[in-house]
Amino acid sequence: MSFLDDDRAVARVFLAVAAFGLAAAVFVGVVGLMVVDAVVDTGAKTLELTATVVDTLDDAVTVARDTTGQVSDALTTAASGSAEASLAFRQTADLLETSTVILTHDVPDAIDGVLDAVPALERTAAIIDGALRFLTVFGVDYDPDVPFDEAIASVAASMEGLPGELRSLEAPMLSLQASFESFAGLAVDVGADVRASQAALRSAETVYDSIEQATAEAATIVAETTDALDSQRTLASAAVVLAALALASLQIVPAALGARMLRADPPVLAYERNA
């Protein structure tokens, strides 16, 4: 007699299969629900972290925009100051150019003319001095400590080296003029660099707008996904439970067959039925 000919053995196999199927259904249900919870919780934590990152990025953009505005204001002031400095340096250079001509050419030439006229002035002063001394006979009070001609000679002597000294100032004054012209050019260059920086900052404003729009969209998506997680948890849990119930319901057939075969009294052996 083979195993298949023993109805009780077959019934026990059916019952074992049914028990195993029920255990598997319970296992699938419990483990499935645990997996769903774990997946959903991980997704929720990921979304929470993403929301934090998005908020941090949005705050960073706000700070960067404020800082950019402050820098832009400072650059505006710097550009205005550079323009004013360039104008002042240019005006100073022009003034130095005029002053150089006057101080190193016109004034020395005028002093040279005075010095050339000093001998004639001394002779004239001597005549005037002699005349005044002659008039003292008639009661005119004239008795200077230094005669008129000597006073003129003393003044001329003090002016003797002045033209050369003034002319020697031409080179340093021209150098100073060139320095102020260079300062004016540097101020212009600084102003150009400042304006270029302002243009770059204005370009950054559009980038900030794009980032803020992207973060707003990301925040909306995160919020919608977070709201959808609960419904997804419910649907997934329901699917797991239904799958477990379906698997458990499939065990009704082997359990019923096994139970029916065991209730048969006496059990009918297969070979006897065939006989």
Q: Check pLDDT > 70 for residue 168.
A: yes
- For residue 131, the one-letter residue type is A
CATH number, domain at 98?
1.10.287
Contact 106, 163 (CB under 8 A): no
Dihedral (C-alpha) 95, 96, 99, 100: value to the nearest 10 degrees? -150
Expressed in angstroms, the distance from the first to the final Cα of the chain is 14
Domain housing 222: 3-274
What pLDDT, on the 0 to 100 scale, is given for residue 2? Answer: 47
Helices (H), the chain: 7-101, 107-135, 148-158, 162-168, 170-249, 252-263, 270-274
User: Which pair of structure tokens corresponds to residue 198?
Assistant: 């302002």
What pLDDT, on the 0 to 100 scale, is given for residue 140? Answer: 66
Q: Number of folded domains in the chain?
A: 1
What pLDDT, on the 0 to 100 scale, is given for residue 254? Answer: 75
The candidate with the shortest Cα–Cα distance to 94, out of 175, 187, 181, 167, is: 181
Per-residue pLDDT, averaged over 79-106, amounts to 87
Per-residue pLDDT, averaged over 186-210, amounts to 79
What pLDDT, on the 0 to 100 scale, is given for residue 177? Answer: 86
Q: Check pLDDT > 60 for residue 103.
A: yes
Contact 237, 36 (CB under 8 A): yes
What pLDDT, on the 0 to 100 scale, is given for residue 267? Answer: 47
Contact 115, 125 (CB under 8 A): no
What pLDDT, on the 0 to 100 scale, is given for residue 161? Answer: 83
What pLDDT, on the 0 to 100 scale, is given for residue 16? Answer: 82
The candidate with the shortest Cα–Cα distance to 160, out of 207, 206, 108, 124, is: 108
Tell me the pLDDT tens digit for each residue of 114-128.
Answer: 888 878 887 887 888
Q: How many CA atoms lie within 13 A of 159 on its CB side?
A: 18
